[in-house]
Amino acid sequence: MWKTIKRIIFIILILNVIFIVWGRFFNPPITITQIGGILKYGKLQRDYISYEEMGNNVKKAVIASEDQKFFSHDGFDYTAIEKAMKHNEKGKRIRGGSTISQQTAKNIFLWQGRSWFRKGLEAVYTFIIEKVWSKDIILERYLNSIEMGQGVFGVEAASEYYFGKSSKSLTASEAAWIAAVLPNPKKYDPKNPSAYLRKKHNWIMRQMRNVRLK
């Protein structure tokens, strides 16, 4: 029995190593979140593209919105995590402190949820991809896999869905609208923005001036 368990664990570890190495060169065939989108909305709208094809505006907008320290941290923003913990202790609406690297690890390898077990796995995968992948690869995987609408995944599909153009052709304002729906793309819609979304869009536009791509 114990030999069988050890064999299963060994196989799982080997498959994970293969998947991580694979991910350095290729986008994932499909993710658990994307499967959930298919089951819930009956569609999977995505279009994987290379880092160069994405254009700078959408990269800057998403970094400005989600993780302005992306190029300088080691996968974890400890200041943001501490602030999120203090905020959540007050019993208010839960706030996350995840970096783009952490979100990439979750989107590619894991599932959605807030359990400590999943967060632990997320930390492990984040540490590994920061060592094995480059920042450009992490950002490319993130921008290709992130949920951007109901059954819509990745910035290219989102650009086509919301503005009928490629992500490389997005203006700074259009890119900021796409980034503004994060982290709740099922709730917010750039085509019909709420007052909150307009405020966030304007904030992202200002923050984009501070983002420098490597």
Q: What is the pLDDT of residues 160-192, one digit of tens each?
A: 999 999 999 999 999 999 999 988 888 888 888
Tokens of 159: 């650009």
On whether residue 148 sits in a domain, the answer given is yes
E strand intervals along 23-161: 45-46, 147-149, 152-153
Instruction: Tell me, yes or no, whether 214 lies in a domain.
Output: no
Counting the structural domains of the chain, the total is 1
| Dihedral angle of Cα 55, 59, 61, 64, to the nearest 10 degrees | -150
Structural domain including 123 reads 2-208
What are the backbone dihedrals phi and psi of residue 147, each rounded to the nearest 5 degrees, phi first? -75, 125
CATH number at residue 158: 1.10.3810.10
Q: What's the predicted TM-score (pTM) here? A: 0.89
User: What DSSP assignment string belongs to 73-106?
Assistant: SSS--HHHHHHHHHHHHTTSS------HHHHHHH
Q: Identify which has the larger pLDDT, 157 or 82.
A: 157
The pLDDT-based confidence of 108 (bands split at 50, 70, 90) is very high
Q: Quick check: is 165 in a domain?
A: yes
> What is the model's pLDDT at position 90?
57
Judge contact between 155 and 62, C-beta under 8 A. Answer: yes
Domain assignment present for 213: no
Q: Radius of gyration (Cα) for the chain, nearest Å? A: 18
The answer to the question of residue 87 being in a domain is yes
Check residues 7 and 60 and name the one with the higher pLDDT.
60
Least confident range of 43-52, 78-87, 99-108: 78-87
